[in-house]
Structure formats: C-alpha cells, structure tokens
Structure 1
Amino acid sequence: MEATEIRKLAALEDTHWWYRERRALLSRALKKLPRPGTALDIGAAGGGNTRVLRANGWQPVALEYSPDGAQVAAERGLNVIRADARALPLPSASLDLVVAFDILEHIDEDHAAAGEIHRTLRPGGTALIAVPCDMRLWSAHDVAVGHVRRYTRDTLTSVVEKAGLVIDELWSWNVLLRPVAAWRRRKSTGSDLDDLPNVVNMGLTAIIAAERYLPVKSLPGVSLMLRAHRQI
C-alpha cells in the first residue's frame, strides 16, 4: 500500500464505517478464543486492529512492511516491527494468535505468507484472516491500494490449507452493501477510501452492523473472513 494510502487510512480508521465494523468483528472473534496470549497483527498500518488486541488483553506486536506504516503504529505507542510477511522474524511456534486482515491480496507469494502464519503459531493457535473477494469486483480501487488478486472461497481455502492450517469457519462479510460496492467500483478511478459526511457514515455503519444479526454469511459479499488453527 502506498504511503499516502496508509496515512489516509490512519486518519480515517477511528471513525470510518468500514474500519469500525471490522474492529468490532475482530473484538467479537477474540471473545470466542481461549484466554489471551501473544499475538501478531500483520500489516497493522495505523494499528487499529492492534489496539483492539491490546484492549482485549492480548500482548500484541504490530508488523508493517512499509516504513510509513511502521512509523504511524509507533507514533500511536504500539510495539511494532518492520518485516516481510513472507519471512517473519519470529521463532517457530511462538504465537497464540495471528491476525492478517487484508494482507494476502497484496502479496504475490501469498502461500509463503500463509506458511509463515502456520510456522509461527503454536499448536492450537488461531489465525484470523480477511481478504477481498470476487474478481468481478476488481476495479481501479484494487490497483490504487496495491492488490494483486481478489479471492474466491476455493482459492482462499486452498492457500490456507496448503500452508497446513485447519479451517474452522469461513464466511462472507459486507454482504448487504455488495450492490453498492459493485456499482461504485464500476465508476472508480482510484481508491474509494474517503472521508464521508457524518450522515452517510452513520447510515453505512447501521447497514453493515445489521449483518451481525442476519443469516447472510453464506451469500456473496465484498470480503471473506476466515478463522483457522494450527493442529500440529
């Protein structure tokens, strides 16, 4: 992701509907896990998810490839390291949790990053992964934010299982707003990460939050979410 996009993300992530609901999703996922332990937030950028981990009692490290992302995370008082997700500078079997939200789609060798997640997790450790889905939604937005692919359920499953992880749950996210996203992406000329008027932001927040209570996880969405664990 370009430095300008990282700075934009850092400025917006506390209030933007998409990032707020994704943090809420992470917080809910954490409550289903055993007691907190060591965690790695790959591609932490502004550190929003890292702060969720810390608030829920985990001992998190934010990992960023770009100097700008690492600097933003450090400025926010987070424990941060700069490294490549394909070669994590951490001992094998040293983590209880790895969070990789919207990371794999930026990496040509996504299998290598998934393999590193497996290597660094302790047996029984959890991986929480999010990726954009469906190449029919490919647009200038994907180019602007540095994506190299969007996933299907089958392609994401293949990458994760070949790395040795066991999938516990795989579901769609941002389902209700998929028609809006598809329409906007057709007209897109760049990143659609914008500072929205409050009334629009509140409306989108209400819609995306409604997915918590509706049976839509099996329907096509804009993103795929996955929970997996290392068996051995």
Structure 2
Amino acid sequence: MDLAYYQDYYKLERTHWWFVIRGQLIQRLTKLYAAKTHPLRILNVGVATGRTTELLSTLGDVTSVEYEPSCCTFLREELSMQVTQGSVTELPYQDNSYDVVCAFDVIEHVEDHQTAVMELQRVCSPKGLVFVTVPAHMLLWSHHDVVNQHFRRYTRLELTSLFDQKAGEVVYSSYFNALLAGPVLLLRWLTRLIPKHWIRSKAGSDFTILADDNLLNKLFYKILAAEVKLMPRLSLPTGTSAFCLWQKEDVR
C-alpha cells in the first residue's frame, strides 16, 4: 500500500465519527476491566496508523505490532512511533507477558483466526485481559470488506467461541453501532449499484463516503456516543461491529 493510503487513513482514524467513538469505547472498557496494576503492560496488535496506540498510551506502556512492512515504515518515519513488524499468528513475545492484549479489527484479516486468538491468549498474563473488536454480520459484506482485505464478518457468538473457556472467561461481549446498523445496511446495498470511484476516495472503504461532511460526522457521532454510555450495563442485540473481552484465569 502506498503513502497516500496511510495518509488517508491517518486522518480517518482521528476525525471520522466511527473511529472516534470506537476509541472512546476502547478506553472506557479497558479502564473498567483491566487489572489495576500501574503501569499496565499493553500489547496492541495491528496498530494501523497508530491512533489506538496513542489512546492506550494514556493507560500504560504500549508495545505496538503491525504486520504490513509499509505501514511500519509510515509509523516510524511519519509519526516517530516505535513498532515491531510481526504477525498476530506468531507473536514474538514470551507467554504471559502483557496485562492487556488488544487486536482492534485485526483477526478478520487473518485466514487462520483461531491461531490468532490463541496467540493473543498465550501472551496475556494471568488475570490479564484480551480485547478484540471485529466487523459484524456477513449480511453487511460489501466492497468495504474487499478493499480492507477481510476474510469474514462475525456474529457475537462466532467471535466468543474462538476463545478458550477453560483457560479463562468472557467477561463482556456485545455488538456496537446498533442504532446505525439499518442505515449502514441500506448504504452498502445501494453502493453495489453505484460505480465505486464516484463515492469513495483513496482508501476506498465506506469510511471515506461523506467523510468531509462535518454536519453528518457530528450527527452520527452523537448517535453512537449514546451507545457508549450504555456500556457495559447492556449487551446490544445487533450492530455493525462486535467485541469481546476475555480474562485469563489466575494459574499462579
């Protein structure tokens, strides 16, 4: 992928309503469910253009891992961010190394997602937390998934079933972006009929559609922010994304 792609996504990760709200959800739930050790040892796998690492850095010491060599170059040269090039299916770390292990919209990019989740669990410390987010529902499959090189989308049950229930437990799972799931479904069906280059910019994903419309950005932000306030009191019945927080048992 070229520099223009990462520059496009750099802006989206920091200004687009969906990314901003996901970031707030990540911080909120990590604070609630992570061990109260200070500072937290955090592993962030699949950091993209670095926004999740920036957010997690407010909670502890973050080690960043990214698979794409060109993305690693962007992070190092453009952001001066330390990052290790590596794969979620073969993490270069010892067992039980991190208090929090994160993979935000990562495992859908991996054909062998079971091995990926096992690796996340392996490097998680006893009583530590694994936090994973994924796109939800194959019904929503579209060009957005193709351009982002997804293998699949998930139901909440499909996601939680990847986690070893003998080595720990799912402490919270839910969908999110429920209130906008209907409009997103309609948009994705409509965009199948419209030439892709008419409505998408360099990154080519749905995030680029109307990305510069400040009014809509603010409106959708407020709608989705209402959902975040419900977390973790409720587990939403549907949405465009799903997430799972799994806690490793204390084996010491």
TM-score by length of 1: 0.92
The one-letter code matched in structure 1 to 2:29 is: A
- The worse-fitting range, judged by mean Cα deviation, of 171-180 and 211-220 is 211-220
Superposed CA RMSD: 1.8
The one-letter code matched in structure 2 to 1:105 is: E
Please give the secondary structure, in 2, of the residue aligned with 1:225: strand
Q: What are the equivalent positions in structure 2 for 1:95-114 lying under 5 Å apart? A: 95-114=98-117
Asked if 1:191 corresponds to 2:193, the answer is: no
Distance 1:108 1:82 in 2: 19
Long gaps (5+) in structure 2: 197-203
- The worse-fitting range, judged by mean Cα deviation, of 71-80 and 159-168 is 159-168
Partner of residue 72, structure 1: 74
Distance 2:236 2:17 in 1: 22
Look at both structures and tell me which one has the larger radius of gyration over its CA atoms: 2
Offset of 1:5 from its aligned partner? 4.5
The one-letter code matched in structure 1 to 2:75 is: A
Offset of 1:183 from its aligned partner? 0.8
Please give the secondary structure, in 1, of the residue aligned with 2:205: coil
Q: What are the equivalent positions in structure 2 for 1:118-157 lying under 5 Å apart? A: 118-157=121-160
Asked if 1:19 corresponds to 2:37, the answer is: no
Offset of 1:162 from its aligned partner? 6.6
Distance 2:75 2:44 in 1: 11
Aligned with residue 220 of structure 1, among 229, 232, 238: 238
Offset of 1:71 from its aligned partner? 2.2
Contact 1:175 1:217 in 2 (8 A): no
Offset of 1:77 from its aligned partner? 3.1
Distance 2:79 2:166 in 1: 33
Aligned with residue 49 of structure 1, among 52, 57, 63: 52
Offset of 1:69 from its aligned partner? 1.9
Offset of 1:173 from its aligned partner? 0.5
Contact 2:131 2:243 in 1 (8 A): yes
Partner of residue 200, structure 1: 216
Contact 2:172 2:244 in 1 (8 A): yes
Offset of 1:137 from its aligned partner? 0.8
- The worse-fitting range, judged by mean Cα deviation, of 162-171 and 191-200 is 162-171
Contact 2:178 2:236 in 1 (8 A): no
Long gaps (5+) in structure 1: none
When residues 6 and 117 of structure 1 are mapped into structure 2, their CA distance, relative to the original with a 3 A threshold, is same
Contact 2:156 2:243 in 1 (8 A): no
- For residues 151-206 of structure 1, give each alpha carbon's deviation from its aligned partner in whole angstroms, at most 9, with x where no partner exists: 11221121123794421111110000101110111123452121331111111111
Contact 1:166 1:229 in 2 (8 A): yes
Partner of residue 28, structure 2: 28
The one-letter code matched in structure 1 to 2:57 is: R
Asked if 1:85 corresponds to 2:85, the answer is: no
Contact 1:114 1:163 in 2 (8 A): no
Distance 2:227 2:21 in 1: 10
Distance 2:189 2:213 in 1: 22
Distance 1:131 1:163 in 2: 23
The one-letter code matched in structure 2 to 1:28 is: R
The one-letter code matched in structure 2 to 1:90 is: Y
- For residues 195-218 of structure 1, give each alpha carbon's deviation from its aligned partner in whole angstroms, at most 9, with x where no partner exists: 331111111111110112357632
